[in-house]
Amino acid sequence: MLSGRISGIAISLGLLAFGASAARAEDPQPVTPDVALSQEDRIEELERVVQGLTEELARTRVGVAVPEDAEGSLTSQWGYGPAASKVYEQDRGLSIGGYGEGHYTAFVGNKGDESNSADLERAVIYMGYKFNDHIVFNSEIEFEHASTEHTVTTGADGREGGSVSVEFAALDFMWMPELNSRVGLLLLPVGFLNLIHEPPFYYGVNRPEVERVLIPSTWRENGAGIFGRLGEDLEYAAYAVNGMNAQGFTDEGIRDGRQNGSNAFAEDLAFVGRLDYTPLAGLLVGASVYAGDSGQDQRVDLALGGSTKIPSTPTILWDLHAQYENRGLHLRGLFTMTHLGDAGSLTRDLQAEDPANTFAIAQGLLGGYGEVAYDVLPLIFPGTDRFLAPFYRFEWYDTQWNMPSGFGADRSQQIMVNTVGLQYEPIPNVVLKADYRNRRAAEGSLPDEFNLGFGYTF
């Protein structure tokens, strides 16, 4: 398509250049002032046409490389967020998209050592390339906290600077809608937010804590697998990936056991699978499961001398999720559990390695959330394209829900969160957010939060 348009423009330029040359090459004839003026006008007109064609050629090159989307036309495809799915709409070649978000947080009551903070949390670039109808590359590069790790002193929340990470980078081999394959650094298809985490597509300034603590988004590992769509109603994905690293498990959960594709241990592999069913328009129900050992055949040096091999630590995480959207109404719910084998042995080994490790790792983690939102603007301004939704989300989770024999639970890890807020979208790709979060622990105190945020995707 691009080559045809460029060829047409090139031919037009050639004809115009030939015409202008011929006009200048004619035998000189005595001309009146009116005729001379006419020739100058013709030359100026030819120059204007050439300039217009040159600009059109430049726009054509850019438009094919980075196509513009009609406002609000982005849609999710094949397990990626809408902006990350742009490459699948390409005939061929490069696709660029992205998203970003920032927020302001003020702590209210029980503030303790917390400091109010403002953060450009992330700026993300999606880059994809469609080689042909059957082979597609897609990737996400994320810049967190407006800098890199070594260029900033400790910030308001105690973290030191930001980072640059590859969130995913995968090759898709598209065979047919029912069966395709994917290889690379993969987003694990669990929960809602791990796959679709662009700010206009979830409610609240902060992502749900259940999908950050229990389902450790953004969770990615190296691997390969298959995915597809069976009919109009059923989608699936099934991957084999490197397992987690049990040395990162703590009383706060398994989040730090992610290996994120960076020189990952792969002695233990894991399976992850997902099914989503849409029996009615606007209704989605589904489930996902992750299962694999996390010991990675590692040994730890003991503080009193010698070493020991940490246990295999079988890790099983599963979730059930559902969502319904219709005429401005949004309902979403998710429930998840994690089961850790050998949790007691792992805790003892990590404590023997470093006596400062006084935490105990649970053998069962549990939690869930439900949320409701409604777009009220069509009630006030019928036919409007803008979006304004008050929302409410309830979360409860416990990373010490079921403890191994001989270990007591830390009740400060049982947390309930109530979030109420507003979400405004002047256009579908831009969002402004405000919310208030009340966080309570079974033991101890946590501050409430007032949050303001913005986000965009393209």
**Dihedral class, residue 327 (left if φ above 0, else alpha if ψ from -120 to 50, else beta):** left
Cβ 207 vs Cβ 197: under 8 Å: yes
Would residue 219 count as lying in a domain?
yes
Same domain, 127 and 13: no
Q: How far apart are CA 237 and CA 227, in angstroms?
A: 4
Same domain, 453 and 364: yes
Q: How far apart are CA 374 and CA 380, in angstroms?
A: 13
CB neighbour list of residue 302: distance below 8 Å, 6 or more residues apart: 308, 352, 353
Would residue 83 count as lying in a domain?
no
In this structure, what token pair is assigned to residue 258? 């992610």
Domain harbouring 243, CATH code: 2.40.160.10
Neighbours of 150 (CB within 10 A): 8
Locate all alpha helices (DSSP H) within 96-243, ordered by sequence: 210-213
Same domain, 181 and 267: yes
Number of folded domains that form the chain: 2
HSE-up (13 A, CA, CB side) for residue 234: 5
Would residue 111 count as lying in a domain?
yes
Same domain, 329 and 449: yes
Same domain, 46 and 98: no
- H/E/C letters for each residue in 267-285? CCEEEEEEEEEEEECCEEE
Same domain, 98 and 58: no
Q: What is the domain range of residue 369?
A: 94-457
Would residue 73 count as lying in a domain?
no
Would residue 76 count as lying in a domain?
no
Same domain, 13 and 103: no
| Per-residue pLDDT of the chain in tens (458 residues, 90 and over written 9) | 444 444 454 444 444 444 444 444 444 455 455 555 567 777 777 777 777 766 665 554 444 444 455 444 678 999 999 999 999 999 999 999 999 999 999 999 777 778 999 999 999 999 999 999 999 999 999 999 988 765 545 555 555 578 899 999 999 999 999 999 999 999 999 999 999 999 999 999 999 999 999 999 899 999 999 999 999 999 999 999 999 999 999 999 999 999 999 999 999 999 999 999 999 999 999 999 999 999 999 999 998 888 999 999 999 999 999 999 999 999 999 999 999 999 999 999 999 999 998 999 999 999 999 999 999 999 999 999 999 999 999 999 999 999 999 999 999 999 999 999 999 999 999 999 999 999 999 999 999 999 999 999 99
Same domain, 21 and 106: no
Same domain, 37 and 164: no
Q: What is the pTM of this model?
A: 0.84
Same domain, 353 and 448: yes
Q: How far apart are CA 446 and CA 112, in angstroms?
A: 9
The 10 Å CB-count burial string (b at 16+, else e) for 34-61 is: eeeeeeeeeeeeeeeeeeebeeeeeeee
